[in-house]
Structure 1
Amino acid sequence: MSVARLPTGDFSHASKRVKSDTKPVLGFSNEDKVGTIQLHDDALVITLKIGGYDVKRVIVDQESAVEIMYPNLYRGLNLKPDDLEPYNSPLVSFEGRVVTPKGQIRLPMQTGAEVVEVDFIFVDVYSPYTAIIARPWLHTLGVISSTLHQKVKYPFERQENEELTEFLKRNLDVFAWNAYEALGVDPEFICHHLKVNSLITLKKQPPQRLSKEHANAIREEVTKLKQTGTIKEIF
């Protein structure tokens, strides 16, 4: 939906920042088309955490100036009319019809470590979507979206990836890259057990004929695992 007239008063149509930091330059490339069917004319529909819940079927609309909440989300969050603040400015639907909102509510919306408070305008009309995310949210977080690539990019994703990479580099010594490096692991921490029914009589299976190469490879692997203490014989 596009806005017909922005409201005035205590509630701003812009999202309220809770956190802020430097935003790197973002963009899209042909690699971002991987996993999409080209050419297409699909809308950009995503999942976001709104009011503490993962909300599906949220459409990103750069043409809209206000965030919209539809009945499915309103009921899903167990909201009541008393939770809404007045909002009397009419809106224009996708079909060009004038719609009178039922009210407005500010909800926290989380993306990664970022949390912003967003003013949602509730309209009691049918929609296949649960909400519309518009320019206020996009501009507040410095988010860019692309219907062609069917993706949304956030400025803090790159920073978080760089921080994670640096953390992993600083702690390389605590990672075991194969079973032979995982020495002295306390069985109280992790241990593999075979669930065997003690009421069932054990039967010896007929020997499997292996090639000499396979038999030698298995024998060598078992010897290595025994030497490192990864496995041991129990009977």
Structure 2
Amino acid sequence: MAVKVQQVDLTRDVDLVFTKGDLLDVIPHDNDSIVISLVTIGRKVHRVLVDQGSSADVIFWLTFNKLQLSPYQLRPYTGCLYGFAGDQVQVRGHIELRTTFTDGTTSRTTSIRYLAVNAPSAYNILLGRPALNRIRVVASTRHMKMKLPSLEGTVITIKSHQKKAKKCYENSLKTKRGVFVVTTQPPREEGITRAEIAREKRPEPVEDVVEREIGGKRFKLGKSLSQESQDQVVEVIARHLNAFAWSASDMLGIDPNFLCHRLIMDPQVRPVRQRR
């Protein structure tokens, strides 16, 4: 007779609250990610991204090998993972690893099922919603911390390694390595995956065109249009010529909150003027 063992959550309910005191040791930042360290199979692993946008807990293949884990320990994974651009990510399998979270005073150990993903990344492990929800993590990017309850009913506060977070972000830009969202379903946009959008060709004229100069600007009109229709189109364009933008200087009055490029700079670093 088969007996099904049901896991019981012994975690006590604790209020996880962030206060002004949690901001005292935070270096001013511009939307940094939360990057922590954890312990698994007796070894400390750095560069662990706390990603509430991921639907899976991931250990990257390079990290898997560095931990001297064997591919024979992997169990088959029949699902599919998709990256941010909608491309499918290769999954070698999944593995259960005992994982410890500690703030130096209190710790909590739990078993997490990681998907072993063969993809380049600036991180070693990606903690997604399955693990975060199961151990009741509350993360705050403003306070650069995550908090979780211990089995004894106390609060474990784990600080983000801000310098490592910046370094990971810089490395991902230099090497084009993955800072990507992992989902179990392909991301869709208006019913179409982003990968399908990326493969779409830009619109091109389906017929020969004729160039007409309107208000000092050149437009292309379909050659199949009659001369009368062309003249009507030209008249409409000429009346609304100010609706077209030919350069950034033509787009005045746009609220910078709509789209604004921001440079991530450490205010503690002394600025240096480059030589000309």
Q: State the TM-score, normalized to the length of structure 1.
A: 0.56
Secondary structure in 1 matching 2:91: coil
Partner Cα distance (1:97, 1:128) in 2 = 18
Which structure has more strand as a fraction of its residues?
2
Q: Following the alignment from structure 2 to structure 1, what is the Cα–Cα distance between the partners of residues 123 and 7? A: 25
State whether structure 2 residue 115 is matched by structure 1 residue 121: yes
Q: Determine helix, strand or coil for the equivalent of 1:20.
A: coil
2:146 matched to 1:156? no
**Partner Cα separation in structure 2 for residue 56 and residue 17 of structure 1:** 29
- Provide the C-alpha distance between the structure 2 equivalents of 1:147 and 1:57, rounded to a whole number of angstroms: 16
Verify the 8 A CA contact 2:95 2:115 in the aligned structure 1. Answer: yes
Match of 1:101 among 88, 91, 96: 91
Task: Give the conservation status (yes or no) of the 8 Å contact 1:18–1:116.
Answer: no
Q: Which moved more, 1:80-89 or 1:31-40?
A: 31-40
Residue of structure 2 in register with 1:42 after alignment: 32
**Aligned partner of 1:86 among 57, 72, 76:** 76
Q: Distance in 2 between matches of 1:136 and 1:42?
A: 22
**Which amino acid is 1:129 matched to?**
Y
TM-score, normalised relative to structure 2: 0.48
- Residue 184 of structure 1 corresponds to none
Partner residue in 2 for 1:137 = 131
- Is the Cα–Cα contact under 8 Å of residues 41 and 98 in structure 2 kept in the other structure? yes
Q: Which amino acid aligns with 1:71?
A: W
Alpha-carbon distance in 2 for matches of 1:115, 1:41: 29
Please give the residue correspondences for 1:23-62 in structure 2 after superposition, counting only pairs within 5 Å: 23-62=13-52
Aligned-partner residue type, residue 41 of structure 1: N
Deviations 1:187-222 (CA, angstroms, capped at 9, x unpaired) = xxxxxxxxxxxxxxxxxxxxxxxxxxxxxxxxxxxx
Find the aligned partners of 2:151 and 2:20 in 1 and give their Cα distance.
19
Residue of structure 1 equivalent to 2:101: 111
Give the aligned length: 146
Residue pair 2:36, 2:46 contacting (<8 A) in 1 also:
yes
**Which residue matches 1:3?**
none
* Alpha-carbon separation, structure 2, partners of 1:38 and 1:54: 27
Q: Which structure is larger by alpha-carbon Rg, 1 or 2?
A: 1
2:51 aligned partner, one-letter code: D
Matched AA of 1:139: N
SS at match of 1:102: strand
Alpha-carbon deviation of 1:132?
Answer: 0.6
Structure 2 residue matching 1:75: 3-state secondary structure? helix
Structure 1 residue ranges without an equivalent (≥5): 1-15, 162-235
Query: Which deviations, in whole Å up to 9, do the C-alpha atoms of 1:127-179 show, x marking residues without a partner?
Result: 01001111122122211111221101122299458xxxxxxxxxxxxxxxxxx
- TM-aligned CA distance change 1:64 to 1:104, over 3 Å: same
In 2, the alpha carbon distance for the partners of 1:96 and 1:31 equals 40
Q: In 2, distance between residues paired with 1:110 and 1:28?
A: 22
* Matched-pair contact (CA < 8 Å) for 2:32–2:141: yes
Residue 215 of structure 1: aligned partner: none
**1:88 Cα shift?**
2.9
